[in-house]
Amino acid sequence: MLTILPVKGLPDITKGDNIGKLIVSRLKGEGESILQGDIVVVSQKIVSKAEGRMVSLKGVKPSPFALEIAKETEKDPRHVEMILRESKKIIRMKNGHLITETRHGFVCANAGIDMSNVGRSGDSVTLLPLDPDKSAGSVRSSIRHQTGQDVPTIITDTFGRAWRIGQVNFAIGVSGLKPIRDYRGSKDMYNSVLHVTEIAIADELASAAELVMNKADKVPVAIVRGYRFRKGNGTGRELIRPEEFDLFR
């Protein structure tokens, strides 16, 4: 049996906050604690805030290229400027959508730069963490420091998908677990070899956690309890298909 606990009532996160510490203290307030085998799932938004990855659009000067793209996509030119600064490549641009490949290698709309939930002023945006694996690692090490428990940590963001409607939560940073479960070479129930199956369990854990996070309800953290994972030095980059093996870039 798997259990997913929402971590409610975290304070508004600001630059410099120690998220691991805040999680442990909130759990304590609820009579809960981090247990061995738990997996901590943290939404990108609060990580970016704690890391100061917010930009006020007031100070952003769009380049001529950004102005052009903004016209074509009907977006705020300053938003487009920030998207381009965070991207390596434009993957698609159509029907008002701007899909890029971020500097990390994620393919997503607007380079993951979100205009909601960022503050009362309404003109600031959050950027994805510079190094989401490192962000995951520092939440993990802070929790270990607080509790003595070394638990895998996943940083997530909601991305759209090709071919399907709606966003789902994906793992963008991972620390302390292998994000892919590899069934290749293992036997199925009829003793036939399972040929090609690799399951992106870090993405599935992210999606599972989102079910209790609930975008508008101030639940940016969830604890997954009871999942038997493989420990290891995994990274979110293992989930990114290299361009030369990708049929859709």
Which residues, 93 to 112, sit near its own copies by CB under 8 A?
Answer: 94-95, 97, 99, 106-107
Which region, judged by CB under 8 A, interacts with its own copies, from 60-68, 78-86, 126-134, 207-215?
Answer: 207-215
Our CB check for its own copies shows the closer of 35 and 211 to be 211
DSSP state of 139: H
Least distance (Å) between residue 54 CB and its own copies:
13
46 binds its own copies (CB under 8 A): no
Cα 140 to Cα 40: distance, rounded to the nearest angstrom: 8
Which residues, 110 to 139, sit near its own copies by CB under 8 A?
Answer: 115-120, 122
Smallest CA-to-CA distance from 156 within 219, 91, 84, 199 is with 219
Report in angstroms the alpha-carbon separations of 206 from 80, 169, 220: 27, 5, 12
Our CB check for its own copies shows the closer of 27 and 138 to be 27
* Binder among 46, 60, 205, 221 for its own copies (CB under 8 A): 205
186 binds its own copies (CB under 8 A): yes
Report in angstroms the alpha-carbon separations of 194 from 85, 184, 197, 222: 43, 6, 7, 32
Which amino acid does the sequence have at 119? G
- Residues 213-242 vs its own copies: string with x where CB under 8 A? --xx-x-----x--x----------xxxx-
Smallest CA-to-CA distance from 168 within 125, 205, 217 is with 205
Are the C-beta atoms of 220 and 10 separated by less than 8 Å?
Answer: yes
Helices 132-147 + 19-29 axis angle, to 10? 50
Dihedral angle over CA of 135, 137, 142, 143, nearest 10: 110
Cα 159 to Cα 157: distance, rounded to the nearest angstrom: 6
Least distance (Å) between residue 145 CB and its own copies:
26
Least distance (Å) between residue 162 CB and its own copies:
4
27 binds its own copies (CB under 8 A): no
| Total site size for its own copies, rule CB under 8 A | 71
* Binder among 199, 231, 232, 233 for its own copies (CB under 8 A): 199
158 binds its own copies (CB under 8 A): yes
Our CB check for its own copies shows the closer of 67 and 227 to be 227
204 binds its own copies (CB under 8 A): yes
4 binds its own copies (CB under 8 A): yes
67 binds its own copies (CB under 8 A): no
* Binder among 130, 194, 231, 232 for its own copies (CB under 8 A): 194
Residues with Cβ within 8 Å of 94's Cβ and at least 6 positions away in sequence, in order, are none
